[in-house]
Structure 1
Amino acid sequence: MTEGLDSMILDNEDAARAWLRAVFDPIPTQWQQLERFAAMLVAENEHQNLIASSTVSALWVRHIADSAQLLSLDREGEGLWLDLGSGPGLPGIVVAILSNRPILLVESRKRRCDFLRAVIAELGLGHVEVAEARLETLSTVPAATISARAFAPLDRLVDLSSRFSTESTCWLLPKGRNAAKELSLLPPTWQRLFHVEHSRTDVDSGILVGRGKIGPKQRGKR
């Protein structure tokens, strides 16, 4: 990684694009896909509330780079990336554009799933699938990476998704300004799997990064 990027805070659209270029070196097709996804996101936001309207002017910082930073924390990962509560495809679609990882977007709301399928078809993302279902009803599959950008309180999120984890699963859970607090409220057996990384897009926000399996014997232990 380019020197200085480890501490870089992305506070404007130009900085977000420069960071993406330096870290991922997207080929022209990937840039076109990112641009098209951004345009589709803004257009669809007129019809359903995908992102806060106040963030549209900072789309590349607040949504594109904010999603891509999760991939930067698991660049060496392989295998299924499970994106929970994917909503408009954040971070899942951004990860899919910047990597070849197989990705499963889990989203229960039909209109959002319709949008995700339209994006996948438009961008030719053949390695991405949409599961239109509540997580509780989804068949258990081993996930190499589990992400959830805005899904549920941490304790419920971990409990619901634990059956998808393996000994090598990477957990990437942005929790905003309450990351450390939410982590401190987990049972110690869960806490030990995680640490807090500072977000590149908000100096006060944190990402919970973990590694490992959360099994039935750990549930509820304090």
Structure 2
Amino acid sequence: MTLQLGDVAPDFEAETTEGHIRFHDWIGNSWCVLFSHPKDFTPVCTTELGYMARIKPEFDKRNVKIIGLSVDPVDNHARWAADIEETQGHAPNYPMIGDSDLHISKLYGMLPASTGGTSEGRTPADNQTVRNVFVIGPDKKIKLILVYPMTTGRNFDEVIRVIDSLQLTANHRVSTPVNWQQGEDVIIAGSVSDDEAKKLYPGGWKAPKPYMRIVPQPGSR
């Protein structure tokens, strides 16, 4: 199964470090970041899980729930949390899904559907494709998919930046330019005619080219 942007994120039930969940019910009316790991007690993932715990308040204030997944049983996650806290200064303060039967990894296309067996005996290299970040909206549709190699730690500050853009553009008919940061100028969406734009932005806009209509971020000034 290959998931695309705009697809409904597959629903599932799972055991986590914070109890049993049904994924869509757990998301509720929030946004969600689901990020996956090939195995517990791996070094790069250890740094990532600790960092996500440290910046969780940034997600909270954006109405974003974060949830991890690792191809190992939940009991292992609890033991790993102690290592994460010891080495990174923060233990996971969000649920971690146990995917020992590989069901969710296959459901989300991170492992081939033909993969058999369980997590028992599988190495990180066997699961190296389980290194995804999915951003899911309150409508349960996938808004962003990032896939990282095992050797490269993820940039979760970039995930926050993209969420800021996704939430802004979901509420206003604008797009965000390269390297955009919260509070910077934005671009009027191409679907908005000049006549409509005059009503939305009576103060006008900068237009270095007719198709590039630049305005201050709505609500920022």
| TM-score normalised by L of structure 2 | 0.25
Determine which structure has greater relative contact order: mean sequence separation of CA pairs < 8 Å that are 6+ residues apart, divided by chain length: 2
Bigger radius of gyration, 1 or 2? Answer: 2
* Larger fraction in strand: 2
